[in-house]
Amino acid sequence: MQGLRVLRFQAIGRAGPVASLTGLSGAARKAANRERVPRPMNPDIVYGERDHEGKRGQTGMASTAQFDDEMARRVVDQMMDLFVRPEIDRRKATGRISDDFELRAAQVVLNVDASPQVRLNDEVRIAAKYRAAGPMKKGEKFPIDPKRIVRLVLTDEDPNAAHITLLGLPAGGWVHWVLEFDFHYNATRTRAHAEAAREFLDTARDALDKGHLRTLVENLYGATELMAKGILLSIPDKVFMTTGSHRLIAARFDKWGDMGNVDKKYAKLLTRLWGYRGQARYLRGNFKLTAEKAREMLATAEEMFAAFQQQIPERIRPQ
């Protein structure tokens, strides 16, 4: 998918045996649907993006796509064709799994600095956020209602990965499929940039209170650049894992704004602060920043920080 978007949704519904997901062709699946035979990802499945409370809605820095059943089919088909079926074939060929292997869960883990990793069944590492029907005690066991799953979240064993996860849950005599994917990379690295940016923002606010506008510019520039780099770290480009180039970060972030993946005013803020920084720190020309303008830029940076925090993927520590 193009852009910095939280590509996550749930696909929950009645399905046939899990094993059929590995062997049913697209044509056969369509024919089965016409005959109203229950199959994985059939037309009865409910699709839709959900927020942290399980309501339909949008999340992330940019507007998120609305998913329909046809798009969900394409996601599953591509996941199976590109990653899962080839992995199953390789394992069968080497004797790691038997010919009657049945798929219950699959996960594709994507890291910028490593090859894709495919996990099957018990190898899948994921945590589920769940809306309980009532009060629960810690450690209490309960039957899972797939429709109460809000989202699937990677654990901290995959600190910087994007992922596609497909989970088959038996319920009511059928298998309910939960599909979630998040193509934000470098969650832990991004969070570190957010923590550093917070410190620079706080120092910039202190400088404004004291009327030290040169100090404000230096720290506000540092905070904004850290946030810009953190946002760019979310895409699979190795250069942002190592670069310290001010010009490269500014140029790429400006382009990111032009593409509509981040509010353009955040890119403009970074460019504006770059200009003020030359005057404030290196005494290049007259420094003419007013307290009112400084307060306005700080407010925009705080808004950027709030939006930046919302896009950072969550990680859960296994219990």
Q: Tell me, what CATH number does 195's domain have?
A: 1.20.120.330
Does residue 306 share a domain with residue 261? yes
Does residue 209 share a domain with residue 172? no
Does residue 193 share a domain with residue 174? no
CA dist 20 and 103 (Å) reads 8
- In 3D space, the residue among 121, 122, 128 whose CA is nearest the CA of residue 147 turns out to be 128
Predicted local distance difference test score (pLDDT) of residue 68: 58
* Residue 62 located in a structural domain: yes
Residue 123 has pLDDT above 90, yes or no: yes
Q: How confident is the model at residue 4 (pLDDT cuts 50, 70, 90)?
A: very low
Does residue 210 share a domain with residue 90? no
Q: How confident is the model at residue 45 (pLDDT cuts 50, 70, 90)?
A: very low
What's the mean pLDDT when you consider all of the chain? 79
Q: How confident is the model at residue 69 (pLDDT cuts 50, 70, 90)?
A: low
CA dist 205 and 199 (Å) reads 10
Q: How confident is the model at residue 136 (pLDDT cuts 50, 70, 90)?
A: confident
Q: How many beta carbons lie within 10 A of that of residue 106, not counting itself?
A: 28
Domain boundary among 162, 182, 202: 182
* Residue 259 located in a structural domain: yes
SS3 content of the chain, % helix, strand, coil (to 5): 45, 15, 40
Q: And the tokens for 56? A: 């339909």
For the packed helices 213-232 and 187-210, what is the interaxial angle rounded to 10 degrees? 170
- How many structural domains is the chain composed of? 2
Residue 283 has pLDDT above 60, yes or no: yes
Over residues 184-229, the pLDDT tens digits come to 999 999 999 999 999 999 999 999 999 999 999 999 999 999 999 9
* Residue 67 located in a structural domain: yes
Residue 149 has pLDDT above 80, yes or no: yes
* Residue 4 located in a structural domain: no
Predicted local distance difference test score (pLDDT) of residue 43: 26
Domain boundary among 167, 182, 197: 182
Does residue 172 share a domain with residue 234? no
Predicted local distance difference test score (pLDDT) of residue 319: 67
CA dist 92 and 42 (Å) reads 28
Over residues 152-184, the pLDDT tens digits come to 899 999 999 999 999 888 776 777 778 888 889
* Residue 291 located in a structural domain: yes
Does residue 232 share a domain with residue 278? yes
Q: How many beta carbons lie within 10 A of that of residue 164, not counting itself?
A: 25
Does residue 122 share a domain with residue 263? no
* Start-to-end CA span in the chain (Å): 33
Predicted local distance difference test score (pLDDT) of residue 47: 31
Does residue 159 share a domain with residue 25? yes
Does residue 175 share a domain with residue 40? yes
Read off the pLDDT of each residue in 26-51 and give the average, rounded to a whole number.
32
* Residue 195 located in a structural domain: yes
Residue 44 has pLDDT above 70, yes or no: no
Domain boundary among 182, 197, 223: 182
Predicted local distance difference test score (pLDDT) of residue 28: 34
Burial of 141 (0-12, 13-18, 19+ CB in 10 A): exposed
* Residue 1 located in a structural domain: no
Does residue 54 share a domain with residue 31? yes
Does residue 174 share a domain with residue 197? no
Q: What stretches of the chain adopt beta strand conformation (E)?
A: 10-12, 46-48, 105-110, 117-120, 127-130, 149-153, 162-171, 174-182
Q: For residue 285, give its domain range.
A: 189-311
Over residues 226-249, the pLDDT tens digits come to 999 999 999 999 999 988 899 999
Predicted local distance difference test score (pLDDT) of residue 178: 82
* Residue 121 located in a structural domain: yes
Residue 263 has pLDDT above 50, yes or no: yes
Does residue 110 share a domain with residue 53? yes
Burial of 214 (0-12, 13-18, 19+ CB in 10 A): middle
**Residue 270 belongs to what H/E stretch?**
helix 264-282
